Every structure is written in structure tokens, then in C-alpha cells.
Amino acid sequence: MSTEAELREIVKEPSQSLWDKDIGRIDEHARTLIAHSPFVLLATSNSEGTCDVSPKGDPAGSVLVLDDHRLVIADRPGNHRIDSFRNVLHNPHVGLLFLVPGMNETLRVNGRATLVSDAPFFDDLTVQGKRPRLALLVDVQELYMHCAKAFLRSSLWDPGTWPNRKTLPTLGQIAKDHLGVKEMSAEAIDKNLALDSETNRY
């Protein structure tokens, strides 16, 4: 399959209302959902189209809405790869997916992003006394709700469907195998990772 016409032979055109649901601005409902969302997925791509999706988490209300067309996401300590930020420098188009715990519908936002190293609103991005070094300023171009089907099919919020965490490998075990670490046990790696997560969160 190589054309949209071929694709539309399989998936019919949506109704006009599904196109019209994109309001292209941050209205009162979107503000409410963003204020209650502690977790957002940030999608970016570089100039060659190579994609990346990065999770961003903070206490609910930490994403700032500046006005009907601009929002800000703070950068927090991580692995220093800055994949998303490097992509934005070459291609400003971003996609955001806001999740609210227990809510099956999600808020989708697409727009153009700019990296900011300081601005008056940085004080409002402070968490646990730590002011971010960088922030992502997003000019909203598309904004609409996504229906509940994906969450209903996956039963994501139903603890009864969750696997027993003890049956899954720990990050230490995964890192040891992926990186070929021989001089440190998986348990020791897990201990170091847990300490870093606890003391270097902000």
C-alpha cells in the first residue's frame, strides 16, 4: 500500500464532525484536563523524519497554559540524551498526548515547539525548590479529544489486568544484558538506579 486512496479503500472517510473536533486552541475544557494531567507523551522527529516519543511526568498542574495558544513543559533531570530537544532544534513540529489517571479519553495537541532557557514563567515551573534549566514552549495548532476505545481495549486502568511485576525483569537486569555489564550485579544496578530516581528527581 502506497497511496491514501488505497488506504481509504479499507478505512472509510470519517464523518465531518470528526474533522471538526479539532478546535486549534486551548479552551476551558482543555485547560481543566491539562491541569489534572501528571503525565504527557511528547512526540518529535528530526529533519530526516526519525521519530522519538518521550514521557514527561510531574505533579498535576505543572504544565503551564500561558494563553489560548501556548503551553509550557519544564525539563527535568534525565539521562542527558535530550533526544526530544535535539529533534526540536531541527524540526519544531511536536505532538502531545495528555493522560489523566482513571480517565479513558485523552487530549491530543499538535503544534510547533521552541526551546527556552529562561523566561518570567520559569518561577512557576519550580517543583520541590528546583527551577528547570530548560523548558519547551509549544504554540498549539491542533487540539482535540481522543476517544476511550484504546484504553477500554487495553484495560489500562484496571489493576486486575496488570502483570505481576515480579514476573518481569527489572531495569537493572535489562541494563546488564543490553549493555553487557559484567562487573556489577543486576541487584547493584537496580539499587543505584533507585537511589538516582529518589535523589535526582528534580
pLDDT number for residue 197 = 94
Q: What 3-state class would DSSP assign to 156?
A: coil
Helix pair angle (171-179, 186-199), 10° resolution: 120
pLDDT number for residue 105 = 98
Q: How far apart are CA 3 and CA 1, in angstroms?
A: 6
Q: Give the predicted TM-score (pTM) of the model.
A: 0.95
Residues 6+ positions from 135 with CB-CB distance below 8 Å: 72, 73, 74, 75, 115, 116, 119, 121, 122, 125
- The cell for 123 is 518561577
Residues 6+ positions from 169 with CB-CB distance below 8 Å: none
Asked if 194 and 171 touch (Cβ cutoff 8 Å), the reply is no
Q: What 3-state class would DSSP assign to 3?
A: coil
pLDDT number for residue 118 = 95
Domains of the chain: 12-154 (2.30.110.10), 163-199 (no CATH)
The DSSP bridge partners found for residue 65 are: 71
Q: What is the mean pLDDT of each run of 10 residues along the chain (202 residues)?
A: 94 92 97 98 97 97 97 95 97 98 98 97 95 97 98 97 97 97 96 95 92
